Amino acid sequence: MSESTKGPHIVRSYDRDLEAIQALIMKMGGLVEAAILESANSLEARDEEQAERVRKGDKAIDALEEQVNEEAARLLALRQPSAGDLRTVLTVMKISANLERVGDYAKNMAKRTGVLLQMAPIEGSSGAIRRMAKAVEIMLKDALDAYIQRDVELAQDVRLRDHEVDQMYNALFREFLTFMMEDPRNITACMHLHFIAKNIERMGDHVTSIAEQVIYLVTGELPEDERPKADRTAIDPTTAQ
């Protein structure tokens, strides 16, 4: 290991570089949180302009992810970090990849909102979707707080809350099926709404991955217990009847 040959100057440079990357992650996190809330709100408020802003705003999130990757690669190449520091850098790259995916889902949601605004609204659905989006946004906020504070307990809590998002999704899935069966004219809108619900459920999975990365970063181990899984509609046909 080259650790012993590194003077304090090099170590400080590494820390400064890492802090700069973490600042990018926080900036990315803020944009992604806003995108989640705004895409859900644009659906509920039937606000096409807001949906359009979310769609366009995703480019800034993508650009930040690229910047994180470049800075991280530069840091790895120049500073040649020790095993522990290396883990931090790899974690940062994984977190930014997860954030980028969540941003993508928000963008997809905003795209579908554009389509849905051309159809008659399905009663009660957009409020339920907003609540689901809000739950995920708070999870994300807490996952990033857990990262900054290296707070394993908070990260564990985020993991557990993903189960509630899954339950919200399962309830919506049943509701949409009912609407569709009641009136075939609801089918197209419900398919799009269902996509949106599924997108939010997947956002929750990515936020959970971030929380798990925090646990890995602090403890050196990924959580062993399988998370109470997830989309029941995929394994239990009775939920889909």
The residues binding a second copy (CB under 8 A) are 1-2, 69, 73, 76-77, 80-83, 86-87, 90, 93, 97, 108, 111-112, 114-115, 118-119, 173, 177, 180-181, 184, 187-188, 191-192, 194-195, 198, 233-237, 240-241
- Number of residues assigned to the chain: 241
Closest CB to a second copy among residues 2, 149: 2
CB 44 → a second copy: shortest distance, Å?
A: 19
Q: Which of 88, 47, 64, 122 is nearest to 213 (CA)?
A: 88
What DSSP character marks residue 202?
Answer: H
CB 236 → a second copy: shortest distance, Å?
A: 8
- CA torsion sign for 45, 50, 54, 60 is negative
CB 139 → a second copy: shortest distance, Å?
A: 20
Instruction: Please say whether the beta carbons of 79 and 91 come within 8 A.
Output: no
CB 38 → a second copy: shortest distance, Å?
A: 17
Closest CB to a second copy among residues 88, 126: 88
Closest CB to a second copy among residues 45, 119: 119
CA–centroid distance for 12 within its chain? 31
Closest CB to a second copy among residues 148, 191: 191
Q: 113 Cβ partners below 8 Å, 6+ apart? A: 39, 42, 43, 48, 51, 196
CB 95 → a second copy: shortest distance, Å?
A: 13
Closest CB to a second copy among residues 125, 142: 125
Instruction: Please say whether the beta carbons of 18 and 89 come within 8 A.
Output: yes
